[in-house]
Amino acid sequence: MQSVCVMGLGYIGLPTGSFLATKGYRVYGVDVRADVVASINEGRLPIVEPDLDILLKSAVNSGNLTAALEPQAADVFILAVPTPFLADGSDTPTPDLSYVEAATGAIAPVLAAGNLVILESTSPVGTTERVADFIGRERPDLLGREGLKVHVAHCPERVLPGRILLELVENDRVVGGVDPESTDRAVEFYREFVRGEVLGTDCRSAELSKLVENAFRDVNIAFANELSMVCESVGINVWDVIRLANRHPRVSVLQPGAGVGGHCIAVDPWFIVSSAPEITPLIRTARSVNDGKSRWVLERILERASRFREPKIACLGLAFKPDIDDLRQSPALEIARGLIAVHGERVMCVEPNLESFDGLPLTPLSDALQQADIVAVLVAHRPFRELDAALLEEKVLIDAAGVFRV
């Protein structure tokens, strides 16, 4: 039985580890959070993802998946840790690779010749080579005349929250090693369980391909978000305009929203900009437009609220996209916090995918709708899409998510 050590049990590592365990791999999951480790070993899901609870219980009950705070020897090591950027206030945020370095340092003592180390975390170009160099420095005994005796490759995750278990298997995968042997070894591993095509390349091309995917979406969402502000300024319904424009056979305008969030699209374009800041004005501008859309929505709500003496505002949704509980880089959360800073306890936050959230009290949807003067739809969660519009007839409605297309 081939063994796999998964470093990081979040939105990528946990589904990956659970899936591999149910396919007969011996999986050792590792996380720095003791509560997450305990929850997983009890078969309890610490995140929201459709059908993952059933898969996790099956993986744990089979005995093939166990979680711990420290790694142990395995055949394959998967690094699935965060790669945020440093909030240093600069025009070009600096990528934060401290989690990747910490995970690499943690596995270094238990590595053996012939092991495969895979970086799945979306990373700036050159990160996979840094992982290999770090291993060589930490374990000089694994350096031979022909190079590192451990295979190192990058295979960026390409899944969508809410569809992770399906896309983990069905999506094509791009795999790039620090050398041809590493590429071949990693391609062989993924072809054992991925039904999509597994495409081999070099590690730098694999790294940049993932960044390009998310920067492409960011640029196109920026166009939709900018268009929504233009339509507002001239009194036109943006949803109607996009629907009509998209009837052209070569036009496919995306949908606007309250901004862009998440662990990929809101972050990855900066990795490209930071590598070539003088020649990436388009990508930088798209980031500015999408961040600015959140501030624009906030200002719009505050302007409506100024018409009331003591307005009660309901914020529908806090996650970065519909029907998940992920708050990373969420524009909705940023907007809600901005409103609370001005109107305090008169702001009610509704997030149906969370039972609680530290520092931000949550209000049941029915209570919020009954009490609110202003309803701001920030995320198109299913419970909001199923609302009877008649319930909002006497409310000031600000629909940034296009739930009611107004």
289-341 confidence digits (pLDDT tens): 999 999 999 999 999 999 999 999 999 999 999 999 999 999 999 999 999 99
pLDDT at 85: 84
Q: Does some domain include residue 404?
A: no
How remote is the C-alpha of 392 from its chain's centroid? Answer: 32
Report the percent of the chain where pLDDT is more than 90: 88
Neighbours of 124 (CB within 10 A): 20
- Contacts with 80 (C-beta within 8 Å, 6 or more apart), sequence order: 6, 7, 8, 9, 10, 12, 13, 16, 120, 121, 157
Instruction: Tell me the HSE value of 177 on the side-chain side, using a 13 A CA sphere.
Output: 19
Do residues 65 and 21 make contact, with C-beta atoms less than 8 angstroms apart? yes
Domain boundary among 176, 211, 246: 211
Nearest Cα neighbor of 253 from 376, 397, 402 is 402
The answer to whether residues 357 and 389 belong to one domain is: yes
Q: Verify that 156 and 79 share a domain, yes or no.
A: yes
Name every residue whose Cβ is closer than 8 Å to that of residue 55 and which is 6 or more positions away in sequence: 15, 18, 19, 22, 165
43 occurs within a structural domain: yes
Domain extent at residue 66 = 3-211
**SS3 category, 159:** coil
Note whether 207 and 247 are same-domain residues: no
- pLDDT surpasses 90 at 360: no
The Cβ of residue 72 has, within 10 Å, a number of other Cβ atoms equal to 13
Mean pLDDT score, 245-257: 97
- Among 324, 336, 323, smallest CA distance to 378 is for 336
- Of the pLDDT bands very low, low, confident and very high (cuts 50, 70, 90), residue 94 is confident
pLDDT of res. 191: 97
Query: How much is the pLDDT for 342?
Result: 97
Residue 229 lies in a domain: no
Compute the distance between CA of residue 151 and CA of residue 283 in angstroms, rounded to an integer: 33
Provide the whole-model pTM. Answer: 0.91
Q: Quick one: tokens of 147?
A: 């190079």
Say which CATH number the domain at 368 has. 3.40.50.720
Length of the chain: 406
140-154 pLDDT per residue, tens = 999 988 889 999 999
Q: Give the pLDDT band of residue 91 (cuts 50, 70, 90).
A: confident
Q: What is the largest CA-CA distance in the chain?
A: 76
Residues 193 and 253 in one domain: no
> Are residues 41 and 91 both part of a single domain?
yes
Residue at 293 is within a domain? no
Domain membership of residue 273 (yes or no) is: no
- Judge whether 30 and 200 are in contact, CB under 8 Å: no
Residue 145, pLDDT score: 81
Q: Is the separation of the CB atoms in 253 and 245 below 8 Å?
A: yes
Question: Mean pLDDT, to the nearest integer, of 276-292?
Answer: 96
Active site residues: 210, 264
What's residue 37's pLDDT?
97
Structurally, the chain folds into a number of domains equal to 2
Regarding whether 186 and 140 lie in a shared domain, the answer is yes
Give tens-digit pLDDT for 153-171: 999 998 888 899 999 999 9
- Contact 385/324 with Cβ under 8 angstroms? no
If asked whether residues 204 and 242 sit together in one domain, one would say no
pLDDT digits 0-9 by tens, 326-336: 999 999 999 99
- pLDDT-derived band at 66 (thresholds 50, 70, 90) equals very high
The CB density around residue 107, as the number of other CB atoms within 10 Å, is 26
Residue 11 and residue 94 share a domain = yes
Per-residue model confidence as pLDDT tens digits over 19-49: 999 999 999 999 999 999 999 999 999 987 8
Separation of alpha carbons 398 and 406, rounded Å: 8
Helix (H, G, I), strand (E, B) or coil at 20: helix
| pLDDT for 89 | 66
Task: Looking at the structure, tell me whether residues 257 and 394 fall in a common domain.
Answer: yes
Q: What pLDDT band is residue 88 in, cutting at 50, 70 and 90? A: low
Cβ-proximal residues to 262 (8 Å cutoff; 6+ apart), any chain: 161, 320, 321, 326, 328, 329, 330
Give yes or no: residues 240 and 361 share one domain. Answer: yes
Average pLDDT over residues 390-398: 93
Same domain, residue pair 240 and 144: no
Residue 89 lies in a domain: yes
CA distances from 319 to 23, 155, 328, 330 (A): 31, 26, 8, 6
In a shared domain, residues 253 and 139: no
- The model's pLDDT over 182-236, given as tens digits with 9 standing for 90+, comes to 999 999 999 999 999 999 999 999 999 999 999 999 999 999 999 999 999 999 9
pLDDT band at 406 (very low <50, low <70, confident <90, very high): low
